[in-house]
Structure formats: structure tokens, C-alpha cells
């Protein structure tokens, strides 16, 4: 029997974040998440969705002309067949990234996958869910993301850079909470402290606001 996953949506858009920002990408949004972050912008993916086989998902991906695929959520790793899906995509020649909360074990993720892993900041209200053992499984092509709402988040994020030697392991992304933290203020802080991190904004929100499927 084919493995299946509960899918909220599959859509084609420009990558709005990470180090492939701006590149045409297919997004596979899995349903369900055990976290409830204060700044979550995809609460519609917590429930519902439609069961689809891996074969059907991959056929949908193939209908778009791109080599980039992002598996996101919700929290994709909450569904056990997520890893099998990513392996199938990799074996089909796609460049696959995984957007994960950092609260679930990433040790079983294929090393070819680009893991984009959050470390939840204090304002998220889910900081206690950070699974710090995941840091050991980060590769040079992976990325750790900090979503920052205020100066307390920023100072905490700086501390994590040092405590976990993150910039020596992988790329680090600092992103402002849209509509809460001024992007200019965060950029100024990064420059003033000369941090070796990548500043990012959510490009898709500037282009399409909160339109789903974009």
C-alpha cells in the first residue's frame, strides 16, 4: 500500500525566505502542528487537509517546472511519512528543503535535505519546546532561523549563536516578526553588533500580503 500524508496545500510560488529567496519553488504544506507559536501565520494548516499518496504528491510537483521543493507545515515531521516523501523527491532529482520548528527530532532526515530549523525565541511562547540536541545534526548547507519580535528576542538569539557555535555549523537567519518588529531596527542591530548572520524578510508577504498559495 502506498504511504500517504495529510496535505493542506501544494502550490508554486517564489521562495520568500532562506538562502534561495526569490527562486521559483513548489511548496508542499503538510497538515498539523504540535506547537502554537504566538506569531504563527499558518494556523489554517493545524487541521483539515486531504490524505494524498506519495505518488500523487510527486505527480503534482512534476507539473511545475522547477527543481526546488520546500516541505513545510504546520510541522512536517509530525507526520511519519514526511521523511519518505523527501527521499522520493531527492531521488527524483529535486533540491529539497524542510521547514521545521526545531521541536521534533531531525536525526532521521536525509542528509541531502536542506533543513531550515527554527529555534523558538522567548516571544513565541514555545521556547521550552526547543530540542537542542537537533543542533548536532545540522550540516553546513542547513540553516537555523530566529524569528524576532523585540529586543529580548534579539539578545536571546545572540546568546544562542555563542552557546551552540551556530555560525560555525551552518547559516543563521534573523527574521523580524512581520508587523511587530521593524525590519530596519533589526537590520541596524545586526550591523551594530557585526553579527555573521543573514537578515531576511518574508518576501512573499511584501509581494502578496497573506494571500494563501503565494
> Rounded CA gap, 135 and 107, in Å?
10
Q: Strand order of the sheet with strand 114-118?
A: 50-53, 4-14, 24-30, 68-72, 95-100, 114-118, 143-148, 171-176, 198-199
196-201: which pairs have CB atoms within 8 A and are 24 or more residues apart? 196/167, 196/172, 197/161, 197/167, 197/172, 197/173, 198/19, 198/171, 198/172, 198/173, 198/174, 199/173, 199/174, 199/175, 200/17, 200/18, 200/21, 200/173, 200/174, 200/175, 201/175, 201/176
Question: Is the CATH number of domain 4-208 3.50.50.60?
Answer: no
Contact 198, 12 (CB under 8 A): no
Q: Is the pTM of this model over 0.85?
A: yes
Question: pLDDT tens digits for the chain (214 residues)?
Answer: 468 999 999 999 999 999 999 999 999 999 999 999 999 989 999 999 999 999 999 999 999 999 999 999 999 999 999 999 999 999 999 999 999 999 999 999 999 999 999 999 999 999 999 999 999 999 999 999 999 999 999 999 999 999 999 999 999 999 999 989 999 999 999 999 999 999 999 887 788 777 776 6
Amino acid at each position: 500500500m502506498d504511504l500517504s500524508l495529510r496535505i493542506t496545500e501544494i502550490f508554486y510560488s517564489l521562495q520568500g525566505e532562506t538562502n534561495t529567496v526569490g527562486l521559483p519553488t513548489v511548496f508542499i504544506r503538510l497538515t498539523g502542528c504540535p506547537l502554537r507559536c504566538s506569531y504563527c501565520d499558518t494556523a489554517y494548516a493545524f487541521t483539515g487537509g486531504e490524505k494524498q499518496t506519495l505518488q500523487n504528491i510527486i505527480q503534482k510537483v512534476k507539473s511545475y517546472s522547477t527543481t526546488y521543493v520546500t516541505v513545510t507545515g504546520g510541522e512536517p515531521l509530525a507526520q511519519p511519512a514526511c521523511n519518505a516523501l523527501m527521499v522520493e523527491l531527492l531521488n527524483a532529482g529535486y533540491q529539497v528543503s524542510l521547514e521545521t520548528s526545531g521541536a521534533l527530532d531531525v536525526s532521521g532526515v536525509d542528509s541531502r535535505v536542506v533543513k531550515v530549523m527554527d529555534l523558538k525565541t522567548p516571544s513565541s511562547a514555545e521556547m521550552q519546546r526547543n530540542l537542542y540536541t537537533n543542533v548536532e545534526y545540522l550540516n553546513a548547507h542547513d540553516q537555523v532561523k530566529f524569528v524576532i519580535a523585540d529586543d529580548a528576542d534579539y539578545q536571546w538569539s545572540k546568546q544562542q549563536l555563542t552557546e551552540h557555535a551556530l555560525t560555525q555549523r551552518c547559516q543563521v537567519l534573523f527574521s523580524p516578526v512581520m508587523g511587530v518588529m521593524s525590519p530596519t531596527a533589526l537590520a541596524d542591530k545586526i550591523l551594530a553588533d557585526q553579527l555573521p548572520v543573514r537578515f531576511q524578510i518574508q518576501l512573499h508577504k511584501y509581494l502578496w500580503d497573506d494571500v494563501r498559495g503565494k
